[in-house]
Amino acid sequence: MPGTGLWRTKSIEQSIADTDEPETKLRRNLSAWDLTVFGVAVVIGAGIFTLTARTAGDFAGPSVSLAFVLAAIACALAALCYAEFASTVPVAGSAYTFSYATFGEFMAWIIGWDLILELAVGAAAVAKGWSVYLQTVLGYLFGKGAKTSIDLGGGFAIDWGALIVVLALVTLLALGTKLSSRFSMVITGIKVAVVLFVVILGIFYIKAANYTPFIPENQPAGAGKSGVDQSLFSVLAGGASSSFGIFGLLAGASLVFFAFIGFDIVATTAEETRNPQKSVPRGIFGSLAIVTVLYVAVSLVVVGMVPYTELSTPAGPGNEHRTLATAFSANGVDWAANIISVGALAGLTTVVMVLMLGQVRIIFAMSRDGLMPRSLAKTSERGTPKRATILVGALVAVAATFFPADKLEEMVNVGTLFAFVLVSAGVLVLRRTRPDLPRAFRVPGVWVIAPLAILACLWLMLNLTVLTWLRFVAWMAIGVVLYFAYSRRRSLLGQRQAEREPVD
């Protein structure tokens, strides 16, 4: 039975019926191949091109490959739960829609608000990485003085490179999802080729000595991160630092988790897929398997090419993070570094685009339910939510233009992991409350897999910094205020229930 008030749930049948409303109808024109392209397009990018070297240099050392494996295990467990939900409820909104059917409206709002943080901020973080590579390419063409940001002093800067890519991709998304998929297909092919190039060429420059020590010793408190900049787990466990050692490895796994947030984007496009029951699980598992192998291979090659200490972020304001190109430049292979930079520039483009695509679909689903202004759910003649696309573009543009990349990445991780916890728990709830629903995909051993997914994600959350947690709690508090001030009264489900209630 659907609840009332904060815990009123939207039935699966009603969610599916709402997809046929003429004013908010999305066009179903995506195939299994399109979903696979979207998944690979968004996952191969930030992790390989911007996070691998930095995580090795600042947190995990040569054990960065193990950090990727730990993150991949947590993702695989959650991916099984996502696949069952997406094949059962093929509606835009992903974790938001799933939570509305299981935990009720308030939790659905919380997870939707959380996904806004995850996807919009994620797109901004990757746009910052795109700008770093653009600056590298401009340096090859016009000299080392070329910059993609304008320093305003006082620690503030305008990143015009990130702004340009966001505006261009918002325009492309407004023109149609199918066109975006075709664009992704071409660019994804280029960046996969670049990744394979990195692995094959890099093997010839590996030095076995660079793998020792595989897990570097934990640094003393003064040398590593401390206070609000160290992981919550290291604070609770009395660790002095979250740089290197076991704490550093765990912190690294939580950070590179950012590299895997792709399969949940596949779930957000379920409503636009011709055969979502079969295509969505295939897209989720296919993209996750491919990128895990590539991530581990690249991380092993990069830390084998140069000592991990040469990949650390230089101290002082304005210093840029190390990238894959750094390892090749250190070995005197500048021509390869140039190819990597150009490939990364192309590759990160699709990551920004698909993250924004997922964000637009979340806002679209919340607006269709009345929890956000209904006008944002109206679709254009091309079958895309144009107004929501413009809003997301504006939010991402501001974040990418003015905020530091590393803080953005950690904010994305805590939001994503929170969503994974709720989705994994939701699968268990729906198995109990609606065992009659047809499920094209069922999680094997769900009463073991789902709890393991929850525990794995909570573990990774504990290894994010205290400052990240404080920001996350503040963001959630703002969301609670907005729900009670606006969304609860405007809820379409609430209005429908009120109309059905008898008048005394």
DSSP H or E stretch at residue 281: helix 276-305
> Which positions ≥6 away from 350 have C-beta within 8 Å?
41, 42, 45, 183, 184, 187, 188, 191
Chain position carrying tokens 């969503």: 419
Task: Confirm whether 504 is domain-assigned.
Answer: no
Given CA atoms 40, 43, 46, 52 in this order, what sign does their dihedral have?
negative
Assigned token pair, 156: 């503030």
Query: Using an 8 Å Cβ cutoff, are 257 and 74 in contact?
Result: yes
Amino acid 140: pLDDT? 74
The number of distinct structural domains making up the chain is 1
Q: Residue 502 falls within a domain, yes or no?
A: no
Does 157 fall in a domain? yes
Helix (H, G, I), strand (E, B) or coil at 153: strand
pLDDT at 25: 73
Q: What is the pLDDT of residue 480?
A: 94
DSSP-assigned letters across all residues of 44-103: TTIIIIIIHHHHIIIIIGGGHHHHHHHHHHHHHHHHHHHHHHHHHS--TTTHHHHHHHHT
Q: pTM for this one? A: 0.77
CB contact set of 329 (below 8 Å; sequence gap of 6+)? 337
Helices (H), 434-465: 446-462
Amino acid at 241: S
Determine the pLDDT at residue 367: 92
What is the distance of C-alpha 70 from the center of its chain? Answer: 17
Please report whether residue 486 resides in a domain.
yes
The closest of 28, 122, 8 to 370, measured between CA atoms, is 8
Question: What residues form DSSP beta bridges with 153?
Answer: 156
Beta bridge partners of 149: 159
Which of 471, 33, 52, 468 is closest to 259 using CA atoms?
Answer: 52
pLDDT by position in tens, the chain (length 504): 455 567 788 887 887 787 777 777 777 767 777 777 777 777 776 567 667 888 888 888 888 899 989 888 888 888 889 888 877 877 767 788 888 888 889 989 998 998 887 788 778 888 887 887 788 778 777 776 677 777 766 666 788 888 888 988 888 887 766 666 677 778 878 888 888 888 999 899 999 999 988 888 876 544 445 556 676 766 776 655 557 878 778 878 877 876 776 667 777 777 777 777 777 788 888 888 888 888 899 899 989 998 888 877 665 444 455 677 778 888 888 788 778 777 778 778 888 887 888 888 889 889 989 999 988 888 877 777 888 889 988 888 888 887 765 555 566 778 788 888 988 998 999 899 888 888 888 999 999 999 999 998 888 888 777 888 888 889 899 999 999 999 998 999 888 887 765 544
What CATH number did the domain enclosing 250 receive? Answer: 1.20.1740.10
Q: Is residue 503 part of a domain?
A: no
Q: What is the pLDDT, as a whole number, of residue 317?
A: 44
Quote the CA–CA distance of 270 and 96 in Å, as a whole number: 13
Element (H, E) at 15: helix 12-18
184 in any annotated domain: yes
Give kind and range of the element (H or E) at residue 157: strand 156-159
pLDDT for the residue 227? 58
φ and ψ at 188, to 5 degrees? Answer: -65, -40
pLDDT, residue 478, reads 94
Structural domain boundaries enclosing 31? 5-497
- Which H or E run contains 261? none
Segment holding 218, helix H or strand E? none
DSSP-assigned beta bridge partners for residue 231? 465
